[in-house]
Amino acid sequence: MPIRQLSVSGVRNLQPLTLTPHPYINFLYGDNGSGKSSVLESIALMASGKSFRTSQFKFVLSQQAERMELSLCIDDENLGEAELHSLRLKTGDQLLKINGSVLTSQAEAAHWLPVQVIEPNTFRLLSGSPEERRQFIDWGVFHVEHEFMDHWKTFRKQLKQRNAVLKQKEQQWLEVWNPGFIESSEAIDAQRQSYLKRFKPEFDAALAQLDETLEVELAYYRGWEKDTDLASVLERQQERDLAIGYTQSGPHRAELRIKCGKQPAVEILSRGQQKTVVAALKVAQGSLFQKESDRRTIYLVDDLASELDEKHRFALCKLLEDLKCQVFITSIDKEKLTDIWRPTASKVFHVEHGVVTEIDHALPAASTTHD
């Protein structure tokens, strides 16, 4: 199973805990403010170094704590066993280790923890900025294309240098930085396009299972004209780039366009339909990852009952169960989950005033039936 044991200390209102989750489905229920979302947040912090609830670490750290410590014991089918440990001090200093060895990059932890988050803010994937959709694509590419991170690091360096040259109006240096910028840009674009070609059928299948009435198309804009090579685009835009002081075209301008017909899906679909589309995107990404890596995705689903109606909750839960992946789901009411969905293997945890307690997980017969 991916996460065999989780230890948390110094996160929000959570009392220090050591949790042994089920390898498949884990329900966490409790009142608002009880700390159930903070358990999921702790896993996300270890995977990405970021919270899905806030951009400021000071709000994640418990008010009484001087430090936050997270430890995860992982048993991955493909990679083997590992213990990840994260220490963050109130001063901002931090330390990340794997099996006792210091990591210099968050990417290594992310590699061990392929985490997908479905929570209220996730639905900005449709309505938010192009950057959020680029990050969505790049999660998938990062986890299946081993060279992607090297290309991305090279590209970011080249983009930074090129923008510095443009800002300083040092036109003579562009011919020095352009070749490397073009090479890394084209490598990133090729991997993104290849990934999305494989991703689209997975998305179509997931969306059909969640809501067969929805018709949504995915289109990829690479960040410069489709039928023009990047070198020609940069040459044509050089004068304008120098005038504004930054690079207008490249993979940093790429966009995943999600449409209904010719219109942006966010302008056509209801709020509930948008939620369903985003859930399909997340499930499809995890499904493709599992097929191509022979590893399982970890899903963190926060406040599911408030985001989807009963029919779509049931459909999403069934999709996740079919993936046979590890899932952590929170809800205020246990019955809103267990009454409509009875997974074959699960654990149930009650969260109250920051204390997490495992309870009898023999779920009652489902009170609602679905065709």
Binding site residue list = 30-37
> Which residues have CB under 8 Å from 181's CB, separation 6+?
155, 158, 159, 162, 234, 247, 250
C-alpha to C-alpha distance for 288 and 222, rounded to whole angstroms: 21
CA distances from 345 to 153, 327, 363 (A): 41, 11, 10
Is the alpha carbon torsion for 324, 328, 331, 334 positive or negative? positive
Give the annotated binding-site residues for ATP.
30-37
* Cβ pair 276, 118 in contact under 8 A: no
Locate 352 and state its tokens: 């109250």
Beta strand 255-260 with 346-352 is unpaired
Dihedral class, residue 369 (left if φ above 0, else alpha if ψ from -120 to 50, else beta): beta
CA of 18: how far to CAs of 32, 72, 73, in Å?
21, 10, 11
